[in-house]
Each structure stands twice: as C-alpha cells, then as structure tokens.
C-alpha cells in the first residue's frame, strides 16, 4: 500500500489524563479513512496531532511522507483541514472568500480569480458566487469551506465532523463532494458522529474507545464481527417475538422461514443485517475492555 499517513505508538495526555493511548494505523493514498468514537475518545486530538496543531507526548506520525514533529512545515504544505465550524468570512461573498484564500496561498491576482471561478463551479456555488456568506444555508457554507480547502489541492484532506448540523439533503450533497475528491486522488481522513456517513464513505474505519483503537477494518469486515443476518419475527404491534440467525444465503433464509412455518408462527418477518451501530455499541460499551488493535507495519 502506498502510504499517506502512518501512525505508530501515538500517545497524548492532558492534565495527566490519557486522551490518546497508543495508536497504530496506516492510511493509503487516495483512501477514505474514518475515525469513529464517543465524545472524548480522542478523535479531534488525533487530527490535531496529525495536522501539527498539537504535539504528541510519544510515538511517531508521518503525513505524506513527512514527520509531523520534525517536518511540520512540509506536512502543512501537503494537507488541508476543515474543522467542525466553517472558517469563512460572513461579510465577504463566496468569490471574495476564495480569492482571499488563494492570495494568501501565494497565487497572483489573476490566478486567484481563475481559481475562485473554478472552485465555485466545482462545489456548485456559481449561482451564489456574488452573495455574502451570511445569507448562505449551512450546507452552502460547508461547501464553500471545502472549496477553500482546495485552493491549493492537498495531498491529504482532514475533515473533522464536516456534516455536523446539516440537514439530510445537505449532508448527502457533501458526501458526493467527498467521493469526488477521493476519486481524484486526495486522501481523506474523516471523523464523524454519523455512523451511516462512515458506512457510506469510508474504505476503512477505526473505532476509538478510551483513546485506543478497539476495531479496525472495512465496513463489511467490522459488521461481520458482530455476526450474520438475522430473520426476525414481529407481532402486529412491532414487538420482537423470535430471532433466527442465518448465514445470509438463500438456502439458509429458506430454512429459517420453514422453521417459523413449522412452529406455526404468525406475524411480520423482516431480515436484519448487522450495522455499524451494532459494531459501535459492541466495542465502546462500558463492559468492553479496550484492547488496542494494531496493524502490521
């Protein structure tokens, strides 16, 4: 795997409280990698370390081949960070915001205007280009925030809960943009509170629990850890009356239905598949011992 991010033995504590307790993982170039976990699990701290905003107490991390501690400037040149709040200027228009960022990035006046025009179109904001940002919806502000991240196309894009507070349509529009960015070769490192979002977008997912990685794999691999499909029988009021585990094959589903028929069961039959919610609850419950998961180097 061509590596974009490599983390080994990363630790960070605040006021003697361990927030990140020994992380090991790699992210491939062009991959969408999602970091999940309860509030306080260490997601934002991990992003802050990888983007050089916070120094780790121990361990190593490289981004785009550069060590985040010893080569911070080189790392900063190759990444872009979009945080939980949009970093746009409400008093400026969409175009003025992008031009300003482009000028700060070193583009000349004409080049900055061309870049603004291209990005405004790419992020579907052309009709609002001349409007001040204070008139934008939450989804429009988020798209503009992402556009600013691409004034200079980054090798690695960090998104810290980018869709928090957005409505369903705006969230899904943003998913399409993230897919487009990943398809163009940008590595995307994502934290999110929305498990469906990680399931839809991520090539691989790491679940943090008490500052450690408790589960790591593709969405399908993580869900397979919980078990296979289950045939459920509900009564007319929706109460669960019977569960029959299956392996998901047609033959085994037929076996489960035949068993219900033999029992004379009456009600509504549904097929339930494991979800990331099941994974998340299983590995972050208080009863779950946070055994760290390590990747092979």
pLDDT, mean of residues 84-109: 87
Taking the C-alpha atoms of residue 212 and residue 293, their distance in angstroms, rounded to an integer, is: 8
Tokens read off for 27: 């992210």
Both 181 and 165 in a single domain? yes
Domain that holds residue 249: 228-273
Both 64 and 182 in a single domain? yes
pLDDT (tens digit, 9 = 90+) per residue, 32-90? 999 998 888 889 899 999 999 999 999 999 999 999 999 999 999 899 888 666 678 89
Both 168 and 252 in a single domain? no
Asked if residue 198 lies in contact with residue 192, where contact means CB atoms within 8 angstroms, the answer is yes
Where residue 295 falls among pLDDT bands split at 50, 70, 90? low
Asked if residue 216 lies in contact with residue 203, where contact means CB atoms within 8 angstroms, the answer is no
Residue 174 has pLDDT above 90, yes or no: no
Is 285 a member of any domain? Answer: no
The domain spanning residue 45 has which CATH number? 3.40.50.300
Asked if residue 54 lies in contact with residue 19, where contact means CB atoms within 8 angstroms, the answer is no
The SS3 of residue 215 is strand
List CB contacts of 250: < 8 A, sequence separation 6 or more: none
**pTM given for the model:** 0.78
Is 54 a member of any domain? Answer: yes
Is 292 a member of any domain? Answer: no
Q: What are the beta bridge partners of residue 17?
A: 14
**DSSP alpha helices (H): ranges in 184-239?**
195-201, 219-226
Taking the C-alpha atoms of residue 221 and residue 276, their distance in angstroms, rounded to an integer, is: 10
């Amino acid at each position: 795997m061509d590596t974009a991010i490599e983390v080994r033995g990363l630790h960070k504590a605040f006021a003697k409280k361990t927030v990140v307790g020994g992380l090991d993982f790699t992210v491939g170039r062009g991959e969408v990698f999602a970091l999940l976990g309860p509030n306080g699990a260490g997601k934002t701290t991990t992003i802050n370390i990888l983007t050089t905003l916070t120094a780790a107490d121990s361990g190593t991390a490289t981004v785009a081949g550069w060590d985040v501690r010893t080569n911070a400037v080189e790392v900063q040149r190759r990444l872009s960070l979009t945080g939980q709040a949009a970093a746009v200027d409400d008093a400026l228009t969409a175009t003025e915001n992008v031009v300003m960022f482009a000028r700060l990035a070193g583009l000349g006046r004409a080049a900055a205007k061309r870049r603004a025009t291209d990005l405004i179109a790419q992020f579907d904001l052309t009709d609002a280009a001349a409007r001040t940002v204070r008139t934008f919806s939450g989804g429009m502000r988020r798209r503009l925030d992402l556009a600013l991240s691409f004034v200079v196309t980054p090798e690695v894009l960090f998104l810290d809960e980018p869709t928090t507070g957005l409505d369903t349509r705006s969230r899904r529009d943003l998913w399409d943009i993230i897919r487009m960015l990943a398809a163009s070769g940008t590595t995307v490192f994502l934290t999110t509170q929305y498990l469906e979002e990680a399931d839809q977008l991520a090539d691989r997912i790491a679940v943090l629990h008490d500052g450690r990685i408790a589960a790591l794999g593709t969405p399908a691999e993580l869900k397979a850890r919980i078990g296979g499909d289950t045939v459920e029988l509900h009564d007319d009021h929706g109460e669960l009356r019977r569960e029959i585990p299956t392996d998901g094959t047609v033959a085994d589903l037929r076996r489960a239905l035949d068993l219900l028929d033999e029992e004379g069961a009456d009600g509504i039959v549904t097929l339930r598949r494991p979800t990331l919610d099941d994974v998340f609850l299983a590995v972050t419950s208080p009863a779950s011992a946070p055994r760290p998961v390590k990747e092979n180097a």
